[in-house]
Amino acid sequence: MVHWSNRHTLRNWIYIPRKPTPEGQEWHDIACGLSNVIFVIEPAEQVDGLKRHEDIVGKMAATVLRLTETSGLWETSRVLVADSAFTSLELLQELKKRKIHGIFSMKKHRFWNKGIPGEALHDKTCSLQLGESVCIPSNNAKDFFVAGLLDMNPCLLLSNAGSMNPLDDEEAQQTRFARTHDGSLDRRAFCRPEVFASFNIFHISR
């Protein structure tokens, strides 16, 4: 399905209005990255007052805490993989208290996530050669780290799981073509670091 927000341009394109819309239903869910089994589905709905956990964290982080709690993932040392809509240092710290690790993608939504050196990481990643990666640990490296990999586009992660060691696995191997200074194409092969390979495998498994 292609999100096409302009109603009056091309024929044969399905128009999909932007959220929020009065029709339809938005859902949040959490699933196993190995089996693709959905554990919990939570409808996004308005309620009077605060939902569970919204008194300690923001709304999106509270949603993740409710999903992981209801699905029985607390105290299991599982690794939660999520896209940038759920990325939050506050959430990562709350999950750690409940013995859950996280690998979250990072993207600038007007601003970078609070407490995360997103701009510095993005600039460092863009200055790399294709297939190279960089890591910026927190002051206490056991808390979290942010990492960047230059693939076709810069890939940025916030994590407290995995490592930056190249993963010797077929899923982690990539071959890309990069344009050199003289304009010719150069074929380059590289292995993704473990944390990027894990994110790529389990994030797209859905």
Instruction: Write out the two tokens for 121.
Output: 């990481």
pLDDT tens digits for 122-172?
A: 999 989 888 889 998 876 556 789 999 988 888 999 998 888 888 777 766
Q: How far is CA 197 from CA 13, 69, 87, in A?
A: 34, 26, 18
Pair 87, 113: CB distance under 8 Å: yes
Can you give the pLDDT at residue 18?
63
Statement: residue 12 has pLDDT above 70: no
Can you give the pLDDT at residue 10?
58
Within 10 Å of residue 39's Cβ, how many Cβ atoms? 14
Question: Which is higher by pLDDT, 7 or 200?
Answer: 200
**Per-residue pLDDT band at 1 (split at 50, 70, 90):** very low
What is the rounded CA–CA span in Å between residue 199 and residue 33?
10
pLDDT tens digits for 161-205?
A: 888 888 777 766 777 776 665 666 777 788 888 899 888 888 765
Can you give the pLDDT at residue 3?
47
Within 10 Å of residue 60's Cβ, how many Cβ atoms? 17
pLDDT tens digits for 34-51?
A: 888 899 998 877 777 888
Pair 107, 157: CB distance under 8 Å: no
DSSP letter assigned to residue 8? T
Can you give the pLDDT at residue 151?
85
Outline where the chain has alpha helix (H). Answer: 59-70, 89-97, 118-126, 194-203
Statement: residue 78 has pLDDT above 60: yes
What is the rounded CA–CA span in Å between residue 177 and residue 188?
6
Looking only at the bridges linking them, the beta strands covering 101-105 and 79-82 are: parallel
What is the rounded CA–CA span in Å between residue 146 and residue 134?
9
What is the rounded CA–CA span in Å between residue 84 and residue 158?
9
The chain-wide mean pLDDT, for the chain, equals: 81
pLDDT tens digits for 99-118?
A: 999 999 998 888 888 888 88
Q: Which helix (H) or strand (E) holds 76?
A: none
**Per-residue pLDDT band at 27 (split at 50, 70, 90):** confident
Closest CA to 103 of 121, 85, 80, 78: 80
Can you give the pLDDT at residue 43?
84
Pair 120, 75: CB distance under 8 Å: no
What is the rounded CA–CA span in Å between residue 156 and residue 159?
10
